Amino acid sequence: MKISMKNILIYILFASFFMACKAKNEANNETTTPSKESDVVVFNDIQLKNAGVKVGYPSMQHIHSQIKVSGTVDVPPTNLVSVSFPFGGYVKSIHLLPGMKVQKGEIIATLEDQSYVQVQQDFLTTKAQLEYLQTDVARQKKLSQNDAATIKNYQLVLSQYQMQEAIFKSLEQKLKILHISPKNLHAGNLTVDIPVYAPISGFVSQVNVNLGQYVNPSDILFSLINPSDLHAAMAVFEKDLPLFKPGMNGVVYLNDDTTKLYPVEVILVAKDVDSIGKALVHCHFESVLPHMAPGMFLNGKFDIDGGNSIAVPDDAVVRYYGRDYIFTTKDGHKFKMQEVNIGDSQNGFTSILPNKTIDYLQTKVAIVGAYSLIGALKNAMEDDD
């Protein structure tokens, strides 16, 4: 039986059309099954395997909540010293600049005034008078023992001696304040210049005087800071204040370097709240930080024990257009995108805040592959458009 060339061509075209239709149907079986719901995506077994989607239940996890705060590097009042001088005088020399380091006992300035000489002169004069009266008291005492009529003279001299002794003691203390040794003072070494010594070791934060300036006893010449006990003063909102206790640990960091974390320990929680509803929590640095200075701005993080929370693996949560979602499922193939309010994350888990309409612990969710699901859902929505 002969087959015409025309019949052969018709057979080839029919076979080609049949194979093309079959390939198209197979390809359609590999795509996401469309759904009338815009927040639902359906995967078959092959798609689940290729996307790496795994299903499980949320669980209870012990997750610490974290409070973020801000503040400054501060110094306790015991380490902040305002240097003044009990006697007025003119500034003759200054040995300081802001930021300079100083050692306790180092001369940081020199004052001069005629009143310093007057104190020394009065001391030497009183000392001479006291020595004379001391001799006279001894003489009058001896005379009074033999002659009752001289007792009155003895009492008068003794009274003068006691008054001069009080003046002498007062002038002696003034000399010590002026850093002048009373024992070594004599008429040949009177001085008009008085040194001002650093009362602590640290660095200079302020210089408030200049050469030739007259300063009064109430004037602050310099401000010194001892940086050995710097602490972090962190501002905490009133609602969070009860969560902070002495001994609590946290970390702080400088604004210009968020990678370096400095451990701190809470030492004091203030009880007064300012006008914007914040109170200071004072924290001690666990190590000395020589490059830090009072006034530097800080940010901090403190872990608060939040107890057990409903949580899912971090991979189960996707962020889409500024909101957080998980994918719930009943049969393991049809997934519904569910908006959630999340809490803190720790050890690979993210806490989910309770929802009155959903019992998360009894709801299956995509614990792995959530981004594959939202990608497929997005593609399906674009195809519908």
Report how many domains make up the chain: 3
pLDDT confidence of residue 306: 66
In a domain? residue 179: yes
Q: Are residues 167 and 204 in the same domain?
A: yes
pLDDT confidence of residue 256: 84
Q: Are residues 287 and 343 in the same domain?
A: no
Identify any residues that bridge with 284 across adjacent strands, giving them in sequence order: 231, 265
Q: Are residues 182 and 318 in the same domain?
A: no
pLDDT confidence of residue 76: 86
Q: Are residues 91 and 126 in the same domain?
A: yes
- In order along its 385 residues, the chain shows pLDDT tens digits of 444 554 444 444 444 444 444 444 444 444 445 455 678 999 999 999 999 999 999 999 988 878 899 999 998 888 889 999 999 999 999 989 998 999 999 999 999 999 999 999 999 999 999 999 989 888 888 887 777 667 888 888 899 999 999 999 999 999 999 999 999 999 889 999 999 999 999 999 999 999 999 999 999 999 999 888 889 999 999 988 988 999 999 999 998 888 899 999 999 999 889 889 999 999 999 887 777 888 899 999 998 876 788 999 999 999 999 999 999 999 999 999 999 999 888 889 999 988 888 899 999 999 999 999 998 888 876 665 5
pLDDT confidence of residue 27: 40
pLDDT confidence of residue 15: 46
Find the Cα–Cα–Cα–Cα dihedral 211, 214, 215, 217, rounded to 10°. Answer: 140
- Which sign does the torsion angle of CA 260, 264, 268, 271 carry? positive
pLDDT confidence of residue 177: 92
Q: Which of 206, 225, 244 is the last residue of a domain?
A: 225
Q: Which of 256, 280, 304 is the last residue of a domain?
A: 304
Q: Are residues 84 and 214 in the same domain?
A: yes
In a domain? residue 348: yes
Q: Which of 204, 225, 246 is the last residue of a domain?
A: 225
Q: Are residues 253 and 279 in the same domain?
A: yes
pLDDT confidence of residue 9: 42
Q: Are residues 334 and 373 in the same domain?
A: yes
* Burial degree of 151 (CB within 10 A; 0-12, 13-18, 19+): middle
Read off φ and ψ for residue 383, nearest 5 degrees: -65, -35
Q: Are residues 138 and 153 in the same domain?
A: yes
Buried b (16+ CB within 10 A) or exposed e, 11-35: eeeeeeeeeeeeeeeeeeeeebbeb
68: nearest Cα among 216, 310, 251: 251
**H-type alpha helices, the chain:** 5-29, 45-51, 114-146, 151-177, 370-384
C-beta neighbour count of 77 within 10 angstroms = 6
How far is the CA of 134 from the CAs of 141, 156, 162, in angstroms? 11, 12, 9
Q: Are residues 129 and 215 in the same domain?
A: yes
Q: Which amino acid is at 240?
A: D
Looking up residue 237, the CATH number of its domain turns out to be: 2.40.30.170
Q: Are residues 138 and 180 in the same domain?
A: yes
CA 308 from chain centre, in angstroms, equals 29
Instruction: Give residue 279's domain range.
Output: 68-77+228-304
